[in-house]
Amino acid sequence: MPNYRYQVRASSGDVQAGIISADSAATAAALLRNQGVHILSLSAANNAGGASGLVNLLRRMNERKPTQKNVLDFTTQLAVMVRAGINLRTALEGIADQTNHAAFKRVILQLKTDVESGKQFSDAVASHPKLFNALYVNMVRASEMSGSFADMLDRIAGYIAQQLETRKMVIGASIYPGVIGTLAVAVTVFLLTFVLPKFYAVFEGKEDVLPWATTFLMNLSKFMIAQWPVLVGGLFSIIIMAFFFLRTEVGGFWTDKAKLNIPVMRGMFRSLYISRSLQTMGQLINAGVPMLDTLSITGDVSGNRMFKAMWGRVYASVKQGKKIAAPLIKDAMMPKAVCQMISAGEESGKLGEVLDQISGFYAKQLKDHIKAVTGLIEPVMILIMGTIVGFIAMAIILPIFKMSQIVS
């Protein structure tokens, strides 16, 4: 008989925890309620012990973590099954049986256990914040109150799908210049450390007549070959320090600010954050989520600390009784035209529809920015790479050509 770990609040107000044996989570919940307690949590206990428990722990550590793609598939399937009239517990069980991702399957089974114990589905998904963010939880909670659960799941699935597509495009546009830049550095290092040393014997004793470019590259080549352990160690140290620095609040703030100021990329990132913020805000308003909660979630989901601070200022202003457009107009990060449309949406009572239209426009603009960025970066990077390789080639060929003329 399986064991279930529980946490309950007694009539005296004391919180108690323990393990109970029952045929199912529903039976365990019924046994606990018969004791006159309020169930706070109920989950399957880990019955494995000893070596098998260690094996299971190691297996879980090596498992792939669930992604938003798993959440999207789960939400889409759940919407279809709920609309077909299947009850939530049976739907969760069916989806878990079809899921091949072991870690995500445990999450679904935990959701099923929580629902069987009497929890609302919104409270169940809130227990997994890394997979189901505040937007997901609040939209589900709003649908539970309005009775439009299946429709809301469809809306959430559409939102996640669009965010995944947008993220994929932005990452692709950001990775491309990095790959080309890395290739350029690798080719340069190869030429300086493997190709140029072959010509040392040719240039030896003729340093006085060599062009400055050739002399410079020869000295650089000799330095790189002699000091390569120091250079490699220094490079790795810089990478590690940069990695940990960017994970700090100061480093993250610096990175987010740089994204909005990089000449070629700033238009793309600005469109990304505006589209994401306004789409999130529109979805929450249309779902009936309270305005202050909507603004708080919008700031968290925006993906940039500068935009999060902006929505924080809007939150403080709205809390004082002002309208959304009032603080946005004073902020340079939000275009004036957008602020005017938001103001018109507030006046007409159709703010959710207006935000959906604006976010759709900026989503299209984001795609145009990505195409422009990738189209511009490709020839620029090729030009830079060709210039570097050409400079090294000319620095090698010119003195050889000059010496051949002298000999002839």
Three-state SS for 183?
A: helix
Q: Which amino acid is at 400?
A: I
**Which residues, at least 6 apart from 32, have a Cβ–Cβ distance to it below 8 Å?**
6, 8, 20, 39, 42
Condensed to tens digits (0 to 9), the pLDDT of residues 16-53 reads 777 888 777 777 777 888 887 877 777 776 554 444 45
Q: Does 328 have pLDDT greater than 70?
A: yes
pLDDT for 50 equals 45
Among the residue ranges 42-51, 108-117, 205-214, 285-294, the one predicted with the least confidence is 42-51
pLDDT for 64 equals 74
Among the residue ranges 12-21, 44-53, 87-96, 314-323, the one predicted with the least confidence is 44-53
Condensed to tens digits (0 to 9), the pLDDT of residues 378-403 reads 788 888 888 888 888 888 888 777 76
Percent of the chain residues topping a pLDDT of 70: 92
d(CA 403, CA 208): 13
Three-state SS for 43?
A: strand
Q: How many residues does the chain have?
A: 408
Q: Does 406 have pLDDT greater than 60?
A: no
d(CA 397, CA 393): 6
Condensed to tens digits (0 to 9), the pLDDT of residues 207-266 reads 677 788 888 888 888 898 988 899 999 999 999 999 899 888 888 899 999 988 888 788
**Contacts within 8 Å (CB) and 24+ apart, 211-218:** 211/395, 211/398, 211/399, 213/391, 213/394, 213/395, 213/398, 214/395, 214/396, 214/398, 214/399, 216/395, 217/192, 217/392, 217/395, 217/396
E strands in 10-72: 15-21, 38-44
Q: Does 57 have pLDDT greater than 60?
A: no
